[in-house]
Amino acid sequence: MSNKPSLPQGTRDFGPAVVRKRQYILNTIRQVFELYGFQPLETPAMEQLETLMGKYGEEGDKLIFKILNNGLADPKNKDKAVAAFDRVLQGKNDAGLTERALRYDLTIPFARYVAMNHGQLVFPFKRYQVQPVWRADRPQKGRYREFYQCDADVVGSYSLVNEVELASIYREAFFRLGVPVEIRVNNRKILAALAEVCGGADKMVDITVAIDKLDKIGLEKVKAELAERGLGLDQVAAIEKFLLIDGANEEKLGALKALFAGSATGLKGWRSWRRFLDGLVVLTLLST
């Protein structure tokens, strides 16, 4: 009696009904990308390992699916293959064993494409990409080792208009799909100003890592982690005041302006927020 075939852990089949739903969602997103002037791009599933590892480092070493080189089974390559395996078991990559890998996301392949075709592109270059990616992660509920990403990026421009357009794309795509969402936007100048105001400019990474966990662990545990990372009571209190800012966008802007009144970095961040929200209003009026 033969064993029933099975799939690798963290993968699954998708039947016709699910595929049709996915196609509808992805086609809707593509239509919105095209509406805002983004051009389609596709890159190979396989990239040079050194290209991918340039960004991901140790994390990528654990999560990237690496592809074995051809010819390892050839007897004349046996000694090289054994030596390469030994180095890999020591936690080191070896070009004699693997030089290629499946893409981990769409960002690095896009950067590689721009670098290779820089002379032929017209900037700012706006591209969108809808393709599967692979991660050798431990499978969890609702997460798979192969999944689709939908990316839209602009290269060659620092204009805040790009950020306004991207936020409008998210809003329009979810509206067309009938999914109510709250879009949250980050601002690095605001985070840098927060570190300055609470007297811990050299602790910016520690602060951002801790507050990034707010939704998962709650305010009290975030405060405890900040203290563990070396911030004093006054510093933690200043961060708590920032985290408790609430209300509509205009109320939040008012509170931020008051909080960062003495910070040049904070006021720059506040002004960019002001222009961003004003741009969203203008773009909404133009599209109605």
What tens digit of pLDDT does each residue of 4-51 get?
Answer: 788 888 888 889 999 999 999 999 999 999 999 999 999 999 999 888
Tokens of 272: 């960019």
d(CA 94, CA 2): 39
Beta bridge partners of 147: 133
More confident residue, 136 or 152: 152
More confident residue, 3 or 48: 48
pLDDT at 77: 66
Task: Give the rounded percent of residues in the chain with a pLDDT score beyond 90.
Answer: 58
User: Out of 82-91, 164-173, 211-220, 275-284, which region has the weakest mean confidence (pLDDT)?
Assistant: 82-91
d(CA 119, CA 125): 12
Tokens of 148: 């689709």
28 residue type, one letter: T
| Phi/psi of residue 159, nearest 5 degrees | -65, 140
Q: Is the pLDDT of residue 1 over 80?
A: no
11 residue type, one letter: T
Q: pLDDT, tens digit, for every residue of 153-201? A: 999 999 999 999 999 999 999 999 999 999 988 888 999 999 988 876 7
pTM metric for this prediction: 0.81
pLDDT at 88: 64
Q: Is the pLDDT of residue 257 over 60?
A: yes
d(CA 238, CA 264): 17
Q: Is the pLDDT of residue 117 over 90?
A: yes
User: Out of 2-11, 78-87, 121-130, 178-187, which region has the weakest mean confidence (pLDDT)?
Assistant: 78-87
For range 72-78, the mean pLDDT: 66
Burial class for 58, CB neighbours closer than 10 Å (0-12, 13-18, 19+) = exposed
Tokens of 35: 């509406």
Q: Is the pLDDT of residue 92 over 60?
A: yes
Instruction: Give the β-pairing of 66-68 and 125-134.
Output: unpaired
Q: Quickly state the pLDDT bin for 53 (edges 50, 70, 90).
A: confident
For range 224-240, the mean pLDDT: 91
d(CA 81, CA 74): 9
State the Cα angle at 133 between 103 and 6, rounded to 5°: 115
d(CA 208, CA 225): 11
CA atoms within 13 A on the CB side of 187: 21
Pick the closest to residue 109 from 48, 155, 65 (CA basis).
48
Mean pLDDT of the chain: 87
Are 27 and 148 in contact, with CB atoms under 8 Å apart? Answer: no
User: Out of 100-104, 130-134, 138-142, which region has the weakest mean confidence (pLDDT)?
Assistant: 138-142
pLDDT at 3: 72
The residue ranges of every structural domain in the chain are 16-45+103-177, 47-102, 188-287
User: Out of 80-89, 136-145, 147-156, 276-285, which region has the weakest mean confidence (pLDDT)?
Assistant: 80-89
- For the domain made up of 16-45+103-177, give the CATH fold: BirA Bifunctional Protein; domain 2 (3.30.930)
pLDDT at 6: 85
